[in-house]
Structures are given as C-alpha cells and as structure tokens.
Structure 1
C-alpha cells in the first residue's frame, strides 16, 4: 500500500508541476463577491478615518488583502443584487439590460403599493444566453468567453442571475463548467447544514435549493465554510486539468437570515451586541475567514503570484431591522442602504491584488462601477478579440491599476431604479430613483417627487446638503447628461398609474419649474 501511495503522490506531483507551468502563462482569477455587505461592515476603513462600525467588525483577512493589494474607496455596484450580478456577467449598465430589481419566479415581480406610480415592464426573468426568451436580457456571459479561452470556470455560492425555471437560472447555461450552490435563490433558507439548509419535507422552498452540497446536509457546519471547501476542491480539479481557473466565489453571506455561526459569535456577544447584530457580525467574520482560507490555499499551492483576487460587494448594506440601530444608520457616514441610490445603497468595499502590478498597501480613489469588471477580467485573461451580442458599457480598470496616479473625472456613471425594492414598505429613498455621478458631483432624480438633488461628494459624502439651488448650471449640465445616457440606453421609467404614461426624463424639469 505504501508503494501505491508513493506512486500516486508522484503522479499527482507531476500533474501539479505541469499545471503550475501552464498557469504561469495565463493568470487565475478569483472574484470574491459578498452579498449585502455595506461599505462600513469591516475593520478596514474605506473612508478617510476609522468609524465606529470599523471598530465593531473583525475582518483580518480583508486587512491582509489590503496590505498586499490596492483598496478602492470609490467602487460602486447597483442598489440591489440581481442587477449588479447581471451587470457583472454582461458588462451592461442596468439602464440598458433592464434587470432593474431582484428576480425570483418566472414572469413575476415585486410591485410597489404606491398610489401614484407603478413599475415598468422590466426584465423580471434576468439574463439569457439564448435569444427570444421573454422578459430577459440576451447577452454573451463573461464565463462563456473565459471558458472558450481555456478557463475552468467555477460558480460557487449564490448565482441569482435569472428567475426560477428560466434558462439563466442555471449557471451551467452561462458558461460555468462547475456549479456549487447556485440557483435562482437570492438568499438561503438557512445557513445551517444541520437544518438541511432550510429544507422542509414535502414542501418546495426555492431558497433551500443548494445544488452540490448534499454531502454537508445534516452535519454541523455553516454554509459559508462548506462553500469554501467546495471552492478549494474545484481549484484542485482545475490544476489537475492543467487549466487556469476563474473562481466566482459568490457567498450568500452576509444576507439574511442571520443564523448564528457559533465559530465566531461569542466575540460579539462579549462586546455587548444584541444577538441579531452579533449574528450579523459573525456572518461577516465567517466570510472573512473564507477569504483567508482561499488566500492560504493559493500560498500552499504556489499560485499566489499568478492569481488575481478581487473583493467586492453586490450592493449596499442592509439598513433595517433586525440590524442594530435606527433604520438607514448602519452605513454611516453614508446615507441609506440596500435598495437606495444614495451612497449607502451603491458604494462598496473593493480590493484588488494583482501581484507585480498593484502596489501593496495602496489606495485608489478612481471611481468605477460593477460592469467595469467584464472588460477588466477579459483583459486580465489576455482575451483581446471577442464578440458579444450586447453593447458593453463597462470600461477596463487595467490602466488605473497599472498607473495608480491616473484619474478620469470626466466619466459619467449612471444608475436606474424605476422600481420599488420591497413593494412599498421602506419609503421613497428605496424606490423610483435614477442618478448620475461625474467627478465629485452626483445628481439624484427623485421621480415621484419630480425633484433634482445635487451633491458634492468630496465635501458631503453623507449627501446631507442638496446644493442644486446653489449650483443651477451644474444641475442643468448633469440633468441633460443623465437624460442623454438614459435615452441612449432606452432606459425604462416608472409609469403614472392614472395615465399609463412614463415619468418624464430629468431634463424636462429644466424648464424653470423644477423642484431644487
């Protein structure tokens, strides 16, 4: 038996040596995406000073990644999960792809209880890699291009690219060759494997569907750690196949429900946090533990120098009960949270480690948005000539990574949310908004109130002071630019219930009757 073991080890060693030689030519890429993680839900400060929230959380591996890479302080996603994920997979801005809210069941959508406005006919079924699918955006998915160019593409964790019973709901239809845990579910029914991840005998629960995780069911483990183990096994497979890998490590954490991760919660209970907030902080630390384990894996397999890591969140932090504190205070100093186009709903913690390129411990203030990862990742992969059926709105971040001093303040980034995230229960900061940022200026168009709001983010990151009246020319300039961008992408607007007509574009308010 000992001889057999030695022979097997020798053979495996040969495989890994060949694999490492091959991987030197093409980088591995890990895209580490967290669900619902706010800008401040970390011991890493992404502002110019440490906040009380930074002192609450314990994320040593995010700190480690920052020491080894570049921290981005002006990184943006969209305000809700599925729109961000579709932008990542397609390179399209939400105004163009029109998957403007979270998806669930085929042809069904959350509808607001608003007396004035109703949502447009948005793409409730998400992404589709084939044409002709109703209420879906047809696009060439990022993993499909990576697979075509030799990558072993791994989807591990939350997918949520398409509605249940649609083609886009299955990551294997989008170019991933390995899927663990990904389905149409937007969050888990339970993080606890011993609770069968929330399964109920004889009852279908979409959120309990966790493909590829059956071996963990009924054992004492936590979904975050189970997904991490599967990710490492998948990377093993990629090395055995002598292929570079693209690991989309998309954790369900830190989304509700806030089940107790007993590996970490005691620290926060000892701090005096109420149990729901302690459970949330433990979810954050468990996610951070996963990041550290993946970094350790790369070191152990001598892959660190040839693996690019991105850390990102898909939308702003959840800012309502059972989180501790008054609603919309959890992302302080940012205003609002998940579902809102104010900074708390869209500004994200982002870190990139690209050994040999990014300067260890550096900070980059260039603003960027989720769809930028599509061309960036393809450039990292050395894929220069590719065709897509969709128009790609994203811009490669590679120049800014190679030249940290480079800045582009002329670029305009757009958000469009002609929806109501929760169906009318959380107020107008979470519904009926569109916005644009250019340089230090951000314009928010409150569609229901027909009001334009202007903020100088360099001086007022809290978006506490609407300076539209003080800067009418800048307000006009951005309202015109936002209108042009929305029209160019054939963006949808909410509809008036009484007439069925769409809310006017923001430049209509420039007739002198606008509410500033």
Structure 2
C-alpha cells in the first residue's frame, strides 16, 4: 500500500522500510557540464566519477533548479521550480519555512522510515538558524548553516545539528583544518554507522567543491602544477589568494572525484552497493570567480553561458545515477529532467505519494530502463532576479530566454535547442506562434513571491 505524503506530520515506519534502497545524493557546487571526463573534459582527471558513469546511467539533458546556489538547492529539496518555490534567490532572507509549508525530501523519506542526513552546505536556505536542517527533516546535519561562510575552506565554525564546532586555528583562508577533510570523515562515519542497519538511509552530501575560493591541499594542486599554463587573476574579491588558479581548480575537481571513489569503495566494503542508489550532479553551471575562469577548462562544454545565466551553460548540469544490478551499466538518456524531479523520483522509490502542488515528474522509470512508462514534461521553467532579471523555459525542441525583466523585459529570444544546442541563433522572428506560446508558459509558471519581485525602474 502506498503511503500518503502530504503536509501533515510524518510518522516514521521503520519496519516497512527494511526492504527499501539506501540513497546517496552527491551535489557538487558550481561544477560545469564539461568539467568531468565522462562529459568531455580533456584536462582534468576524474577517473572515479567516470567509472561511476561507466557502471551507471548518464543524463545528458538534466537541469539544475536555478543558476545560483540557494534557489537551486531549495528546488531540489521541495520539488517546486523557481516560479513556485519559496527560495528564488541568494541572500539571508531566502530560507525554507519551518513547519509544513515547505515539505522537503528529507521529511518525506523520514516518514517512509529512512534515517536522513545532510553533510556539507545547508540546502534549506542561505542563512538558517541552528537546527533548522533538523527541523526540515534531517535527522543529522554537519556543515555550514550559512552560504556566506561556505565560501571558505578553513572556517572557524561549522555546525553539528544545533551545536557549534570550532576550529581554533582556522581563519577562513588559512588554517590547519581543511573542511572537506572533516566532511569526508563525517561521511565515512555515517556510512559505517548506518550502512548495515535494517533501516535504510538517505545521505545528502552537499560538497563545496569546486566553489570559489580556489583552495586545495598541496597533493591535489601538485598533480597539475606544470601541466597547465597559469593565467593569474588580479581581482578576487573576498576570496582566498591563489597564485596557481588553474592547477588549484583542477586539483579541487580531482579531489572531489577522489571523494566519490572513497564513498563507492565504502559501499563495497559494507556490502551494500547493490542496495544503494547513488546520484551525482551539480547545483548550477560553472563559475568565473575567485581567480577562476570557466573558459580555461571549457567547463560548460559546448553550452552557452555559465553561473548566473539562464542559457544552457548556466542550468544544464552533469548527472549520473548508479544502482548496481538495477540501473543498466553504461546507459545514457536524453530524458528532459530537472532538480524538481528528484522529489517525486525518491517518493516513488520509497513508495510514498508526492506532496501536493509540486512541479516534478518521477524519472524512476528511466532509471530502471522502462522508458516506455516515462512521463514527460511539457516544459521546464526558471526565473532569476540578478543581473537585470531574467526568465527562461525549455521544451523538447525550443528554448526561450527573456532578459532585462527589471525594465519590463526584452523581446523573447527563441532557440531551436536540437539544431542549435549552443543557443547562437535567435529564430524568434521566424516563429511568432512559438514565442506566443512561451509567453503563455511564462505567465502560467510564475506566481508572485513576498520575498522578491521584478524591480520595475
């Protein structure tokens, strides 16, 4: 019998959960579509993630919740795109609401009998109060409550649930505790503790890498020193000084790749790989910040744009799904999907009904090789309020982008995304009926928000 997942309190049913798979969702930070070897990267080595892809399913048409961090993660956790989600931008006021107004994946899975954990960067908001991830369904949390501090790899303070964890010698840019070392210790300990219990677990590992600042342990920078021609950047803002930005960025990605390898090895050691779904992806497109330039490593592949753009380079992200014995090894899908599909996918996996009012469609049939049973989106939609304000929508053939929304909006640009995946040729004048349809989609997909609006000048 399928359990109902609404907005009421979730009663944990541990006994019924024993036959359900574990779930690990690994979320990189600002990793571009082209930053992995299995997605075309030529200079940065990612053998563990490439192996994950070779033994799993590669999604070539998957999209993030937004083009920056906070709304993208909120979309992931709630199953609502940025036209409906509470969190639609970065900033201290953009947090999921306590109570049952913003139901998260963790709350759903906890109600299905899962033990739930989030390690890394809190996805429930930009600056949440201590314990707020716990109140949004995570039994265990370790990491950053604020996204501002999460720019630094040597933080003086992180949180374990509601308790502050101090690193006395850390000064944001320097110190003796590289926070990703702590993250990995937490991940490994969590897997040791929960990997062999009868109760399934949901682990959301929200990594910082490769978000600026550009900082990596020496052993990872050394792998690329002398192999890349450095182009030092002067403007770094509040980020750490980095005199080897190319080697450091590449080293950060390779460090993340090593972490994925460690997680997969741990699952093998525990004997639970066959009962664990692992998903790896990124929260938005690649960044040019802190001394980095996305163009150095062709981080967006052939796609136009990067972080803070609504062209494909800002929102199309690499995704890999691995489930030994259940997902066909070496398979590839171009199924049109997005972060808001994760909620219904995991609900279906856990035999729970999705919360009412979400925008996602489960892609579990695709994962299990049942493409004939896969429902399709009519469109995907994004809205973003920085850099003049912009909105975009995507169908299986067309991509529409409208800029300058704070001044009433420019003319809608239209791209035949199949014939022109680089979004170079605006064909709006040739297809007025398609443009009119997208204008209707924009109106349909957007609801007003008390937190943020287009700023009419």
How high is the TM-score relative to the length of structure 1? 0.75
- 1:92 corresponds in structure 2 to 80
| 1:96/1:491 contact within 8 Å kept | no
How far apart are 1:22 and its partner, in Å?
9.6
Q: Give unpaired runs (5+ residues) of structure 2.
A: 1-14, 170-174, 231-243
Summarize the alignment of residues 431-510 of structure 1 with structure 2, pairs less than 5 Å apart: 431-446=388-403, 447=405, 448=407, 449-486=409-446, 493-497=453-457
Aligned pair count reads 418
- C-alpha change, 1:306 and 1:213, in structure 2 (3 Å) is farther
2-structure distance, mates of 1:70, 1:490: 39
- 2:155 corresponds in structure 1 to 198
| 1:224/1:290 contact within 8 Å kept | no
- 2:12 corresponds in structure 1 to none
The structure where helix makes up a greater share of residues is: 1
Q: Does 1:413 align with 2:380?
A: yes
- 1:285 corresponds in structure 2 to 254
How far apart are 1:198 and its partner, in Å?
3.5
Q: Match for 1:357 among 298, 318, 326?
A: 326
1-structure distance, mates of 2:298, 2:258: 26
SS in 1 for 2:424: coil
Q: Match for 2:106 among 118, 131, 143?
A: 143
1-structure distance, mates of 2:264, 2:329: 15
- 1:237 corresponds in structure 2 to 193
2-structure distance, mates of 1:217, 1:235: 28
2-structure distance, mates of 1:236, 1:217: 28
How far apart are 1:272 and its partner, in Å?
2.4
How high is the TM-score relative to the length of structure 2? 0.84
Deviation by residue 1:138-184 (Cα, 9 ceiling, x = unmatched):
312211221122211111111142243547x7311111111111312
How far apart are 1:263 and its partner, in Å?
2.2
1-structure distance, mates of 2:76, 2:228: 38
Summarize the alignment of residues 319-334 of structure 1 with structure 2, pairs less than 5 Å apart: 319-320=288-289, 322-324=291-293, 330-334=299-303
SS in 2 for 1:496: coil
- C-alpha change, 1:186 and 1:359, in structure 2 (3 Å) is farther
How far apart are 1:224 and its partner, in Å?
2.2
Summarize the alignment of residues 221-232 of structure 1 with structure 2, pairs less than 5 Å apart: 222-232=178-188
How far apart are 1:370 and its partner, in Å?
0.5
Q: Match for 1:60 among 47, 54, 57?
A: 47
Q: Give unpaired runs (5+ residues) of structure 1.
A: 1-20, 105-123, 132-137, 192-196, 200-207, 421-429, 498-516
| 1:224/1:287 contact within 8 Å kept | no
Give me the CA root mean square deviation: 2.8
Deviation by residue 1:450-497 (Cα, 9 ceiling, x = unmatched):
211001111211111111112222222222223222259999751313
2-structure distance, mates of 1:491, 1:165: 16
Q: Does 1:159 align with 2:122?
A: yes
| 1:152/1:177 contact within 8 Å kept | yes
Q: Does 1:209 align with 2:209?
A: no
SS in 1 for 2:335: coil
- C-alpha change, 1:215 and 1:330, in structure 2 (3 Å) is same
SS in 2 for 1:32: strand
- 1:5 corresponds in structure 2 to none
In terms of Rg, which structure is larger? 1
